[in-house]
Amino acid sequence: MGETRLIPIEGIPFIVAGDDIAVLIYEACRRNALSIEDGDIIVIAQKIISKAENRIVSLQSIIPSEKAIELANQTGRDPRAVQVYLDEASEILFIKGKMIITKHRLGFKMSNSGVDSSNVAPWEERIVSLIPEDPDKSARKVRDSIRQIIEKNVAVIINDSCGRDERDGSVGMAIGIAGISPLECRNQTDMFGNHSGSRIALIDELAAAASILMGQADEKIPVVIIRGVSYTIDNQADITRILN
């Protein structure tokens, strides 16, 4: 097995609605004397995709429902934020401390429907970001644009930090993909020659690895290129294939 590299892309500017993420990635790579190669996997933080697609909500415009107020009293959260969680969710699964574990309308099980206020705007402005309307479509757009700009075939993963119901702490997970199979199904033999069949959620492993470099605060690394990982190319990749 060859070397696997995780390459943080520095210098991505502050994103505003309408920005072309693929162009900004390409330009940042050029400034850093980095190349994008065939087979690279570009992992992109959900936050900058959401900003570019204007998936931003001001809580000052939200009127909470009775249900939102009830959940806010139970969790100590802003009832306006809770209303946004409800609007983005297809189902409230349970309460875990301050977290409201939901099933997002796209099928993801996550805390607070993926609604987040970090790295969006100053706290006093009370602005939150939402998950993209269609993360797979967003990933395909970036992949297609990269191919048009530099004629390289890459895979794209959009990742997000998701809270889990069975463990404390969040972890990076894939919420949108393009050009990479959501599952790696491998038939191998173990060290003793026994058959070993496995179904690996490689996209989540890669999303989590990139999250280590991206961080959660002021690291300013919303894009990581992963190089040297073997994966199955899938031009019809769809994250919903691995959602239960």
Catalogue all structural domains in the chain, each as residue range(s) with its CATH number: 5-53+134-242 (3.30.1330.100), 56-129 (3.90.1660.10)
Question: What does the pLDDT look like over 59-114, one tens digit per residue?
Answer: 999 999 999 999 999 999 999 999 999 999 999 998 988 889 999 999 999 899 99
Which pLDDT does position 216 carry in this prediction? 66
Other C-beta atoms lying within 10 Å of the C-beta of residue 67: 13
Which pLDDT does position 223 carry in this prediction? 97
Which pLDDT does position 129 carry in this prediction? 95
Which pLDDT does position 125 carry in this prediction? 85
Residues 6+ apart with CB under 8 A from 172: 159, 160, 161, 162, 204, 207, 208, 209, 210, 211, 212, 214
Phi, psi dihedrals of residue 218, rounded to the nearest 5°: -105, 25
Which pLDDT does position 217 carry in this prediction? 56
- Which stretches of the chain score pLDDT less than 70? 1, 164-165, 216-219
Give CA–CA dist 87/15, Å, rounded: 25
Which pLDDT does position 38 carry in this prediction? 97
Which pLDDT does position 219 carry in this prediction? 64
Other C-beta atoms lying within 10 Å of the C-beta of residue 92: 16
By the 8 A CB rule, do 76 and 98 touch?
yes
Position 127, amino acid: I
Which pLDDT does position 141 carry in this prediction? 98
Helix (H) or strand (E) holding 75, with range, is: helix 66-75
